[in-house]
Chains A and B, each alone.
Chain A
Amino acid sequence: MEMPTVPVYDYSHAEPSLSAYTSMMLELYIQNLATLSSAHVLDMGPVCNENIVYFAQRVRRFYVCDLFLRLNRERSKELGFEKALEYLDYAPGCFEGINLWDFIDHLKDDGISRLVKRCHELLVPGGMMSITSFEKQWAPAKTHSFVINDGNRITFRLQDHLDLPRYYHSNRIMTTVLSEFRTVKSFIYRNGVREFLCKND
């Protein structure tokens, strides 16, 4: 039986300290993009200058479509997620890589299924998608950006302008929604970060 999506409403515990970590997935991801000539990569936010510079220096063209901010603006409205999804109006099969960071943590199960399906359409065959998500007990109440530093070291920066609900998705649900992809590698870190690197086979 699949676990239902549980909103992480209980913030009575102290805000977990978001300790930095070295991303193994990022290293693999970049290595894979290197094998694809003239890679076009899409990042769905939040806007983070360090990450933009990092990818723009490594790929042919780096695209940013900040769905965090769109979802934040639309969330008071009915069908807010539908509206935010409309901004992914790119042609099918036009990206070699997609960065999702922890955007899925702000969506319910049906939302991530639709988003992942859309990502599947946008990726070229062989393209890769990187997803990051928090374990339930480690999830911060506030939204942070994952900031790439030297040596693929990831630090966190509070995004005070974003006020988004957070949901927890179990590993089983993640495996189910990512079934259209082949999971190349997944990692779990001591700070509660989960990373999934998936390939569109």
Chain B
Amino acid sequence: MLKKSRKPEENQSPAYDTITKPEAPAPKPVSSAPARTENTIIGENISIEGHIRGNEHLVIEGSMKGNVQMEGHDFRVGSKGRVEGEIKAQNVKISGQMIGNIMTNGKVEITKEADFMGDIRAKGISIEDGAYFKGSIELAQEPHRKTMPGAKSTHPAAASPVNAGKTETAKKDVKEN
């Protein structure tokens, strides 16, 4: 026969400690995970229609139609997730299907299982081989953005012997028409 046994500490009220030992530090909560790192997971059997605005990370394993706004927090579409809408989040990871645009202040990661159609604006991007991608990418302008080779460069490396050597190697490999 099965019995449920109570743990000894469950019988003990923390209030007793506070009264008998006032100098003792306040007991720490059992769940000490900070709210910032918590994920809300929309399970694979759940469908949502509507917008979501939040202050914690969100994972969609089910289906969702609507916009997501959670600047400062991460958003993820799991491998079975399906999302149609605009996403504004800190970092975004897509492993399922998504149709819609993404705007982030951080990085967008698209894994090989993903099927993505939409436009992305981000600081960084990573797309795995095998992912289906139809859309566009605009990387946020940064002061050290790459200079077009066509533009005149005053960078000392432009005239360095190392680069000159590379050009020579290239010329050896090629036959021009």
Contacts of A47 in B (CB 8 A): 127-133
Looking at chain A's contact residues, the main secondary structure is: mixed
Contacts of B166 in A (CB 8 A): 22, 151
Contact A63 B127 (CB under 8 A): no
Tell yes or no: B55 within 8 A of A by CB. Answer: no
> How far does the alpha carbon of A185 sit from the alpha carbon of B174 in the complex, in Å?
12
Question: When the two chains form the complex, which single residue of B137, B151, B175, B176 contacts A34, counting CB atoms closer than 8 Å?
Answer: B151
Tell yes or no: B170 within 8 A of A by CB. Answer: yes
Q: Which residues of chain B from 143 to 177 have a CB within 8 Å of any chain A CB?
A: 145-146, 148-151, 163, 166, 169-170, 173-177
Q: How far is the CB of B139 from chain A (nearest CB, A)?
A: 5
Determine the interface band of chain A, counting residues with CB < 8 A from chain B: 35 or more
Please count how many residues in chain B sit with their CB below 8 Å of the partner chain's CB atoms. 31
Binds B, one of A7-15, A50-58, A100-108, A120-128: A50-58
Question: When the two chains form the complex, which single residue of A56, A58, A64, A185 contacts B138, counting CB atoms closer than 8 Å?
Answer: A56
Q: Which residue of chain A lies nearest to B136 when distances are taken between CB atoms in the complex?
A: A63
Contact A185 B177 (CB under 8 A): yes
Contacts of A152 in B (CB 8 A): 170
Q: Which residues of chain A from 33 to 63 have a CB within 8 Å of any chain B CB?
A: 33-35, 40, 46-49, 52-53, 56-58, 60-63
Knowing A34-B148, A60-B138, say if A189 contacts B129 (CB, 8 Å): no
Contacts of A170 in B (CB 8 A): none
> How far does the alpha carbon of A47 sit from the alpha carbon of B163 in the complex, in Å?
29
> How far does the alpha carbon of A151 sit from the alpha carbon of B162 in the complex, in Å?
11
Contact A157 B129 (CB under 8 A): yes
Knowing A52-B127, A185-B177, say if A30 contacts B133 (CB, 8 Å): no
Q: Which residue of chain B lies nearest to A190 when distances are taken between CB atoms in the complex?
A: B173
> How far does the alpha carbon of A21 sit from the alpha carbon of B136 in the complex, in Å?
28
Contact B132 A69 (CB under 8 A): yes
Q: Which residue of chain A lies nearest to B175 when distances are taken between CB atoms in the complex?
A: A188
Question: When the two chains form the complex, which single residue of B136, B148, B150 contacts A62, counting CB atoms closer than 8 Å?
Answer: B136
Tell yes or no: A6 within 8 A of B by CB. Answer: no
Q: How far is the CB of A34 from chain B (nearest CB, A)?
A: 3
Question: When the two chains form the complex, which single residue of A27, A63, A64, A159 contacts B130, counting CB atoms closer than 8 Å?
Answer: A159
Contact B176 A187 (CB under 8 A): yes
Q: How far is the CB of B40 from chain A (nearest CB, A)?
A: 29
Tell yes or no: B20 within 8 A of A by CB. Answer: no
Tell yes or no: A186 within 8 A of B by CB. Answer: yes
Q: How far is the CB of A9 from chain B (nearest CB, A)?
A: 26
Q: Which residue numbers of B lie inside 8 Å of A, CB to CB?
A: 112, 125-139, 145-146, 148-151, 163, 166, 169-170, 173-177
Can you list 26 A-B pairs with a CB-CB distance of less than 8 A?
A: A22-B166, A22-B173, A24-B174, A30-B149, A31-B150, A33-B148, A34-B151, A46-B129, A47-B129, A47-B133, A49-B125, A49-B128, A52-B125, A57-B139, A57-B145, A64-B137, A65-B134, A66-B132, A70-B132, A87-B134, A152-B170, A159-B129, A159-B130, A187-B175, A187-B177, A189-B173
> Which 6 pairs between the two chains have the least Cβ-Cβ distance?
A34-B150, A34-B148, A22-B170, A31-B150, A186-B177, A57-B146
